[in-house]
Amino acid sequence: MLIFMIKRLLAAIPVLILVTVLSFSMIHLIPGDAAVVAAGENATAEQIAETRAQLGLDQNIVVQYFSWVGNLMSGDFGTSLLSSHKNIDAILEALPVTLSLAFVALSWSLVVGVLAGVMAGLRRGTWIDRTLTGLTTLGISMPSFWLGLLFVTFFSLQLRLFPATGYAPLSEGVVAWFSHLALPAFALGTVTAAEIARQARAGVIDVLERDYIRTATAKGLPRWKVIVKHTSKNAAVPVVTVFGLQAAALIGGAVIIEQVFGMPGLGSVALKAILERDFPVIQAFVVVITLFVLVINLAVDISYAYFNPKARQS
């Protein structure tokens, strides 16, 4: 297992290098002079020169890249052009909001998706299967931001059950924390839950048709033991795959949901930096999101090795 993990870590290095190259190139690919764009339309020559020096654009491009990567490796994600604050401070301040939102969204989508998929797979062809399949199709077709707006209108403005906007840290209590996360998390995790349910259903149906399941049933094993011991683990591989893909996509979708619900997460930091053309903040945001995606992919690969030992040898 250790060798397997080391191989996966080494395989992630080229991806990380490519992302750093693309993130660094962002400032050089914009039309015109990046220093002029970053400094603003009415900037003086002195302000443009100061911005160029702050961005390191007065150095050789190779020197700029390795200097930037060296700073990243030492934990220095740069400084904002507008506020002169460290980018890592802004990211760490907004990170708990996004992580909390992603955690609640992934948790409920995994539980609901697996339960619905297993139930549909075990009741294949019945009204339960058709109903759950229809609901998953509906869930996949609804954009998360549109669903979020519906939730705000119905549960916040009409029923007044949950706050419409804002975020409460966990230090203010679990109830306040969850009440602010419930609606955005449910809106964000609906597509993920629907995808997981579809994959779980397909996995259960496929495993139930295998010979070893028929043998276990013919030997007189209880139905619950056949499902728990022989079916669930083998049907989990496609579920883990889609869960990893959806978890990575969910981090990006959180950017939009945070704007709908007025949450001060990474989405707000990224959107503000884009509108104000604060390139160092955008670069830091891309690198942080990439690290999260790589960690998620590594966790998925490790789970493959658990559910399917043949993956370790491949």
Q: What is the mean pLDDT of residues 156-162?
A: 87
Confidence of residue 47 (pLDDT cuts 50, 70, 90): confident
Residue that wins the pLDDT comparison between 75 and 313:
75
Q: Which of 56-60, 93-97, 250-254 has the lowest mean pLDDT?
A: 56-60
| pLDDT at residue 16 in the model | 81
> Which of 174-187 are b and which e, b meaning 16 or more Cβ less than 10 Å from the residue's Cβ?
eeebeebbbbbbbb
| pLDDT at residue 177 in the model | 92
Q: What is the mean pLDDT of residues 175-201?
A: 89
Question: In sequence order, what are the residues at sequence separation of 6 or more whose Cβ sits closer than 8 angstroms to the Cβ of residue 300?
Answer: 240, 241, 243, 244
Residue 86's Cβ-count burial label (10 Å; 0-12, 13-18, 19+) is: middle
Mean pLDDT of the chain: 80
User: 260, 167 in Cβ contact below 8 A?
Assistant: no
Q: Which two three-digit tokens encode residue 15?
A: 């991806």
User: 145, 256 in Cβ contact below 8 A?
Assistant: yes
pLDDT in tens, 253-297: 787 888 888 888 888 888 888 887 777 888 888 888 888 888 887
How many other C-beta atoms lie within 10 A of the C-beta of residue 110?
A: 19
